[in-house]
């Protein structure tokens, strides 16, 4: 046998003996914020895990050409009110592989998890919700958010005990920290809030909070002070819409708290308008508003701008309203800030909602990275995957395997075209899938393939605190 022929057959034998993987993503630009890797690699998946990240040509049962595409850890949305099969489809098409309801949270939480287990397209989880607990104990008639009893009056001592017992039970049953929306329960006095922070601290779990309404500086002072005295890790939700024109001072305060050693984080979504329930405390005192105020409100169910008259009618009826209240400059400041995570605050229901429910992550990549160059691609991926995973991993060790594109990590992967990725959801028509996510995998299962949602797959797992 000639030497060349022998070498050839040896190579063939080696190739035949080489492990064959379940899925191989070949030749994409692998972006892994944990290691800093940003290079052309082939990624191989066995079962639910990443088995290889290599410059070698690997073999797989399913082989995907990822040339020209970015291969990133799947995105982790810390603030997703949409927790239905419908909402999960928009998330998956936006690169999200884990969607968590941490602001409002859930109560009773075991029922919430049970309703989704084995049925979800992507991973899911919730915090122990102070809002739903307070609504149940105080017999508020609202749906997602309070609209009467839990808004209008203080809880009695007995009610406070019952609310805390519900939150404690939900933390015991795996709640991912405690969710709070003080702006929606304005009659919850500072003592009541401090007592709840103390409860979360006893579990060593974070508080995810929509701060009190009114003065932004005072609202941040309240939650940062409560975090300092209780030791609770603090996450302030949607700093863009919570702080609006005061976003720079809000970011400065959070940076300052972190510099002083406090565990304080925040998040933002890339839109100049917010959305909340029209019957909630966000609109207490609406009777005193000027006509221009109502013109900044959009009713997504019909697409109309509101007047005093239509506002009154819809407030009595209930539902979501969109409010234009921020500037591009403030949104960009929050999105580009290095430690601010990306989180959608989104919900799409029966084809209606705010575009953030469908377009948040594509919009950051398309508008703020590609078009405006306000931040790097690596930073955008970090803020959408690694930072949220790190926020959760002390209480939920499963998150140590997410937000990373490395051997041994969960095969939650978003593959997108960096030249094309963009949001398509608009304020007039929010229920539009993002463009540019070519492949999305949830623990090794393709939920998006060639830009198309896959039917009949439910690889999503519950994320819980331990």
| Residue 165 neighbours by CB under 8 Å, 6+ apart | none
Q: State the minimum distance, in angstroms, from the CB of residue 103 to Zn ion.
A: 5
Q: Cβ 237 to Zn ion, closest distance in Å?
A: 5
By 3-state DSSP, what share of the chain in percent is helix, strand and coil, each rounded to 5?
40, 25, 35
Residue 27 makes CB contacts below 8 A (sequence gap 6+) with: 40, 41, 42, 65, 66, 67
Closest CB to Zn ion among residues 210, 212:
210
CB of 430 to Zn ion, least distance (A): 17
Residue of minimal Cβ distance to Zn ion: 210
| Phi, psi for 56 (deg, rounded to 5) | -80, 155
At its nearest, how many Å lie between Zn ion and the CB of residue 105?
A: 12
For Zn ion, the closer CB: 33 or 105: 105
Helix (H) or strand (E) holding 352: strand 352-353
Q: How far is the CB of 286 from Zn ion (least distance, A)?
A: 18
- What is the smallest separation between the CB atom of 306 and Zn ion, expressed in angstroms? 20
3-state secondary structure of 452: strand
Collect all residues with Cβ–Cβ distance below 8 Å to 86 and sequence separation of at least 6.
Answer: 348, 349, 350, 351
Q: Which is nearer to Zn ion, 93 or 144 (CB)?
A: 144
Instruction: In angstroms, give the least distance from the CB of 238 to Zn ion.
Output: 6
Burial of 263 by CB count in 10 Å (0-12 exposed, 13-18 middle, 19+ buried)?
A: middle
Assigned token pair, 179: 């969710």
Which lies closer to Zn ion via its Cβ, residue 210 or residue 363?
210
What's the angle, vertex CA 76, arms to CA 196 and CA 89, rounded to 5? 110
Neighbouring C-beta atoms of residue 309, cutoff 10 Å: 9
Contacts of 31 (CB under 8 A, 6+ apart): 37, 38, 70, 71, 72, 377, 378, 381, 405
Q: Which is nearer to Zn ion, 346 or 366 (CB)?
A: 346
Write the CA distances from 149 to 106, 160, 188, 203, 415, integer angstroms.
Answer: 19, 14, 11, 29, 47
Give 280 or 384: the residue with its C-beta nearer to Zn ion: 280
- Lookup: tokens for 110: 């075991």
Residues that bind Zn ion (CB under 5 A): 210
Residues 254, 231: Cα–Cα separation, whole Å = 15
Q: Name the minimum Å distance from CB 283 to Zn ion.
A: 14
**Given the complex with Zn ion, which of 276 and 401 has the nearer CB atom?**
276
Measured from the CB atom, the residue of 205 and 210 that comes closer to Zn ion is: 210
């Amino acid at each position: 046998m000639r030497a060349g022929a022998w070498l050839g057959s040896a190579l063939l034998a080696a190739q035949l003996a080489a492990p064959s993987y379940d899925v191989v993503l070949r030749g994409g630009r692998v972006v892994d914020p944990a290691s800093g890797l940003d290079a052309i690699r082939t990624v191989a998946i066995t079962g639910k895990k990443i088995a290889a990240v290599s410059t070698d040509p690997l073999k797989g049962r399913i082989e995907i050409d990822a040339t020209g595409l970015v291969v990133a850890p799947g995105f982790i949305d810390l603030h997703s009110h949409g927790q239905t099969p419908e909402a999960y489809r928009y998330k998956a098409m936006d690169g999200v592989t884990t969607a968590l309801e941490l602001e409002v949270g859930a109560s009773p939480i075991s029922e919430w998890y049970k309703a989704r287990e084995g049925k979800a397209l992507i991973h899911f989880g919730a915090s122990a919700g102070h809002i739903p607990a307070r609504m149940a104990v105080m017999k508020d008639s609202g749906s997602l958010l309070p609209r009467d009893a839990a808004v209008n009056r203080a809880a009695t001592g007995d009610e406070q005990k019952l609310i805390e017992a519900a939150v404690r039970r939900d933390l015991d049953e795996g709640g991912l920290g405690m969710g709070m929306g003080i702006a929606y329960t304005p009659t919850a006095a500072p003592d009541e809030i401090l007592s709840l922070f103390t409860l979360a601290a006893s579990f060593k779990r974070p508080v995810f909070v929509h701060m009190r309404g009114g003065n932004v500086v005072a609202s941040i002072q309240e939650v940062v002070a409560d975090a300092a005295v209780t030791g609770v890790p603090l996450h302030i939700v949607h700093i863009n819409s919570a702080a609006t024109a005061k976003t720079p001072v809000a970011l400065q305060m959070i940076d300052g708290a972190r510099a002083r050693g406090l565990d304080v984080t925040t998040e933002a979504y890339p839109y100049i308008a917010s959305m909340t329930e029209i019957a909630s405390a966000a609109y207490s005192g609406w009777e005193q508003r000027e006509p221009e105020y109502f013109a900044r409100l959009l009713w997504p169910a019909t697409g109309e701008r509101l007047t005093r008259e239509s506002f009154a009618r819809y407030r009595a009826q209930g539902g979501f309203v969109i409010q234009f209240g921020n500037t591009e400059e403030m949104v960009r400041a929050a999105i580009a800030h290095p430690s601010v995570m990306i989180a959608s605050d989104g919900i799409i229901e029966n084809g209606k909602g705010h575009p953030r429910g469908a377009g948040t992550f594509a919009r950051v990549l398309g508008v703020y990275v590609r078009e405006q160059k306000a931040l790097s691609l690596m930073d955008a991926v970090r803020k959408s995957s690694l930072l949220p995973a790190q926020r959760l991993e002390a209480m939920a060790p499963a998150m140590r395997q997410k937000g990373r594109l490395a051997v041994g990590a969960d095969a939650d992967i978003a593959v997108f075209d960096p030249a094309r990725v963009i949001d398509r959801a608009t304020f007039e028509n929010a229920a539009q899938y993002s463009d540019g996510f070519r492949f999305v995998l949830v623990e090794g299962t393709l939920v998006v393939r060639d830009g198309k949602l896959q039917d009949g797959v439910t690889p999503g797992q519950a994320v819980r605190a331990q």
